[in-house]
Amino acid sequence: MKQIWTRWTVLLILLLLVSGCGGNGRTTPTLPTTAAGDVDGPGGQGEILATQAAAVQAEYEASLATQAVATVAAQAAAQSTQAAEVIAEESPALATQAAELLEQGEAALENGTLPIPIEPGSLTEKFATIPLPEGSGTVEVTVTEAELNQAIAAAQAQAGAPSAIQNPQVRFTGGAIILTGALSEPINGQLTVSFAPYVENNTLQFEVVEASIGNFQVPPAALQTAEQTLNSSLGTAMSQLPAGTGLQSVTVGEGTMTVVVGRL
């Protein structure tokens, strides 16, 4: 019996020695492994943390997108409100301006004239920018010989075609406008015409007082050309008076002419 226990003891010791050693007599280290479904292990915890991080990121991005949409919508609504307020505020003024332009256009068609460009420093600008008279008051505008001569030269240059009266010049004297120039047709000669200006129906008119062309009788066509020379310069400038105003009187002095403008 004692021999049997001895054998089993030796056999057990040998088994323990064999199981504790590798083929080279060294202990073989092993790494911890995580079984599938083991959430308590390091691998399982890492997967859970990664899933939670992805969920937080997705929720954050969705929140930012919602905030961006809300901000854009709010800005668009504010701009639409501002645009509506500006349109509501400016519409009456724009409608008034459009009505005035339409009225001016209809008047131009009836009179056979169109609005002319207003050059800075010109006689036309002088009449177009006069201050509006208050109530039943009036405004006086002074025209010099130099201003009218400049307006005549500009009108002839704008016309393009040569004028029948070459180098026309005007003088203010003796209550009349004296126009002189070289007439090329229907006859040649130095033309001199004296005009007495007056106002009728708020419009400037001219009356021929005296006319001469050397020893010849002045043809009616020459008088019409001379009057047209004044109408295309002085008359056109006065036609640009601000809306609601009109000519009341005109007086010619020595070297200057005074025009009185009042409300219609």
Q: How far apart are CA 250 and CA 180, in angstroms?
A: 21
Q: Rg for the chain (alpha carbons), in Å?
A: 52
Sequence letter at residue 170 = V
What's the CA angle centered on 173, arms 169 and 178, to 5 degrees?
35
Q: Cβ neighbours of residue 137 under 8 Å, at least 6 residues apart? A: 262, 263
pLDDT at 251 over 60: yes
Q: Which tokens sit at 78? A: 């504010």
d(CA 30, CA 92): 91
* Bridge partner list, 179: 170, 193
Band of pLDDT at residue 22, cut at 50, 70 and 90: very low
Q: DSSP secondary-structure letter at 236?
A: H
**Residue whose C-alpha is closest to residue 173's, from 202, 145, 206:** 145
Q: Which long-range contacts (CB under 8 A, 24 or more apart) does 113-118 make?
A: 113/239, 116/236, 116/240, 118/240
Q: What is the pLDDT of residue 133?
A: 81
Most confident of 13-22, 40-49, 213-222: 213-222
Token representation of residue 66: 């919602």
CB–CB of 151/177 below 8 Å? no
- Give the global pTM: 0.56
pLDDT above 90: residue 248: yes
- Residue 32's contacts (CB-CB under 8 Å, 6 or more residues apart) are 41
pLDDT more than 70, % of the chain: 66
Name residue 108's amino acid: A
The pLDDT value given to residue 4: 55
Q: Which helix (H) or strand (E) holds 205?
A: strand 203-213
Instruction: Compare 105 and 261 and report the one with higher pLDDT.
Output: 261
Give the pLDDT of residue 44: 67
